[in-house]
Amino acid sequence: METNEGGGAKVLFRRHAMCESCGQCRGPRDNVREVANPLGAKEGDWVLVALEEGNLVKAALLIYLVPLLALIGGFLLGSLFFTSELVNMGLGLLAMASVFFFIKLHDRTLAKKGKFRPVIIRLAQEEEIPQARENVQNESKN
């Protein structure tokens, strides 16, 4: 954990070497994320962080399923009024872009509510810390 700010904290997450090899994630190897800190962990503490599974599913639906439904809905709605598939596809893309724009607008509101915010669930046990440090040192050599 890096810093403690009020009821939250900034935690340094380091991607494992195995995770980096898949190439799906973009960005720096080390990530600093804001998390809820109900335990009052202090700077330098090693912590375990979790995201409530139900909220993870809701976030995935919001980001992936809703825009897809907007794309299909826009296409089908367009097909009621227009015969051109190109126009229908344009309406579908417009509907999907509108949903993404709406999600982006409300992102800060959702962040303030803290519903999708990761939470420190416990401090790492003494026996977990040496293994974590070893993993960090081995990965920094690569």
State which residues form the domain around 136: 1-51+117-142
If one counts the domains in the chain, the total is 2
- In which band, very low, low, confident or very high, does the pLDDT at 70 lie, cut at 50, 70 and 90? very high
Indicate whether 2 and 47 sit together in one domain.
yes
Q: Which of 68, 50, 52 is nearest to 11 (CA)?
A: 50
- 3-class DSSP state of 65: helix
127: pLDDT strictly greater than 70 = no
Residues 30-51: tens digit of each pLDDT: 677 788 888 888 888 888 888 7
Instruction: Give the helix ranges, DSSP H, for the chain.
Output: 17-20, 53-60, 66-81, 85-113, 128-141
**Minimum mean pLDDT among 55-59, 78-82, 97-101: which range?**
55-59
Residues 19-30: tens digit of each pLDDT: 666 655 666 666
Indicate whether 35 and 47 sit together in one domain.
yes
Share of the chain above pLDDT 70, in %: 69
Indicate whether 79 and 63 sit together in one domain.
yes
Indicate whether 60 and 23 sit together in one domain.
no
Contact 104, 62 (CB under 8 A): no
Indicate whether 99 and 58 sit together in one domain.
yes
Residue type for position 31: N
